[in-house]
Chains A and B, each alone.
Chain A
Amino acid sequence: MMNADAVLPSSIAWLIIGLFSLLWIWLGWRLGRKNDTLEDYMLAGRKVGMGFAVATAMATWVTSNTTMTAPQLAYQLGIWGMVGYSLGAVGLLLFAPLARRIREMMPQGYTSGDFIRLRYGNVAWRIFLVISFFYSLGWLISLGMAGGLLINALSGIPYAYGMTVIVVICTLYTVFGGLKAVIGTDFVQTILILLGVITLAVLVINEVGFDAIHSQLEEERPELLNLLLPASIMFLFNNLFFGVGEIFHSNVWWSRAFAFAPGVGLRAYILAGIFWLPIPIVAGLIALAAPALGINVPSPDMVAPLVAGKLFGLAGAILVFVVVFAALASSLDSVLAATSDLIVKDIYKGHFRRDASNAELRKAAVAIILGLGALTWALSIPKMATLGSLLHFTGAFVASTIWPIAVGLLYRRGSGTVASLAMVCGTLSGLYAYFTIGFYVAALVSAAVSLLVMLFALAGKPTFDWDQLNDARSNPDGEVS
């Protein structure tokens, strides 16, 4: 499917894709050369310094959604849309103290599954793994499909080609370099994204100006300036809980907590949250300039590239393309690596090969990353809208894990039975709300019900012995006996 409205010639798009693909794969290969052990490969040796730590937390949370959906939401929901989206930073900020605690309590832990298994037992572990894999799959498909759709919309390159390129490139450099490749490329990608967004925003302010943006919005789309838009306020709170649920449970963030050097996690996540917060607002401004520029927006998700193309021609289109390509890659590689870790440690070793050596696990990790890449490609190629919205659907699932994880990390109260009930009841009630009210309350309802169940845990006696988490040091694998 070619796209007549593309803002960038496909020949230039292929050139950009080729250059960056070579750069990412070269970086992945180079950074992976010093990976001697399984810890090096899966957790970058557990010694990631402050600079790379902040960059990888930021870059992973800046997905194609941040650079494309934030402007879309600004265009659809107005001021609250972009402010609501920026509250995704709250998840990073709240996870900061937990990251420090995770690193201290489980210095030899590998995955979020390790914690749930040791803290709550096998039933809660398996419920958690189902939720986590469902979410990871949703995120992988959403990124794969976004890659194909965005590359097509921006450059006219057919969906299947664009999606295939982004999935293959990310899979290759993640296989070559493990978490080091993911984090090293994340740093470069963060700088590219920030410079791109800053350039576009400064040019919009200079070329259009706040007064022109405001007066045209007031005339054409006054609802976007309304601060009391109920649906937008509901979206804001739902987005907040969805983001917190995503970060609290996903091994993408836990693996970084384990990988950051001692003493780095708290400060790195706080700084990443502070620096991530303004990005959706700045990206949203670009969209709000559309009416002042007299742009006819055929679909809201194309509003940012259209503004860039209208204002700065080819250079603007190239800038948007580079930002989107970097944002896609910086998240896709992280989800591939972290999901592979979870499969290697919690499924392959935890359920099937309890005596597997680290050398065997290292080989398994490579095969699993390749398999996940192939699965992402296979599920993204049909371009099914229902699969594309799968990530939205996972809000009910992930929000149910917030309280079991927070209570489990901070208190000795709460058994595996209560945690399992909290996750199951939260998910079911969130799904009920999803189908009866709408997507914008699913995470909210799920988190609320899960909290009610966990309050029973807080009323009980403190029974858990923190030393049991140290099993992640002496006996990191297999079922709890």
Chain B
Amino acid sequence: MISAGGLEALVVPALVLTCVAPVVLIYLVWR
């Protein structure tokens, strides 16, 4: 059984990575 902390540890890094993606994509196209 996953705990609330475990759920957070799974989702937050995923969300951070998802936030980084559009920034990197726009930078790559600009470059």
The chain A residue sitting closest to B1, CB to CB, is A225
How many contacts between A and B, using CB within 8 angstroms?
92
Residues of A within 8 A of B1 (CB): 218, 222, 225-227
CB atoms of A274 and B25 under 8 A apart: no
Whether A194 touches B22, Cβ cut-off 8 Å, given contacts A51-B31, A54-B28, A281-B11, is yes
- Quick one: which of A198, A226, A285 contacts B11, CB cutoff 8 A? A285
Q: Shortest Cβ distance from B6 into chain A, in angstroms?
A: 9
The 0/1 profile, CB within 8 Å of B marked 1, for residues 210-221 of chain A is: 110111001000
In chain A, positions 35-81 with a C-beta closer than 8 Å to chain B are 49-52, 54-55, 58, 79
A227 to B19, CA, bound (A): 27
- A202's partner among B13, B15, B29 (CB-CB below 8 A) is B15
Task: Indicate whether A261 reaches chain B with its CB closer than 8 angstroms.
Answer: no
A367 interface hit (Cβ, 8 Å): no
- Report how many residues on chain A are interfacial, defined by Cβ distance under 8 Å: 40
A451 sits at the interface (CB 8 A): no
Contacts of A52 in B (CB 8 A): 29
- One of A195, A214, A271 near B22 (C-beta < 8 A): A195
Among A49, A197, A210, A275, contact of B4 (Cβ-Cβ < 8 Å): A210
**Is there contact, CB below 8 Å, between B28 and A278?**
no
Please encode chain A, from 298 to 312, with 1 for each CB lying within 8 Å of some chain B CB and 0 for all others. Answer: 000000000000000
A49 to B25, CA, bound (A): 11
Task: Flag if A281 contacts B10 (CB, 8 Å).
Answer: yes
Contact A214 B18 (CB under 8 A): no
- Chain B CB within 8 A of A322 CB: no
Distance (Å) between the CB of B26 and the closest chain A CB?
7
Q: How far is the CB of B21 from chain A (nearest CB, A)?
A: 4
- Residues of chain A lying within 8 A (CB to CB) of residue B14: 86, 277-278, 281-282
Residue B28 contacts which of A50, A83, A281 (CB distance < 8 angstroms)? A50
12 A–B contacts, CB within 8 A, in A order: A51-B25, A54-B24, A86-B14, A191-B25, A194-B22, A201-B11, A201-B18, A213-B4, A225-B1, A226-B1, A275-B24, A279-B18
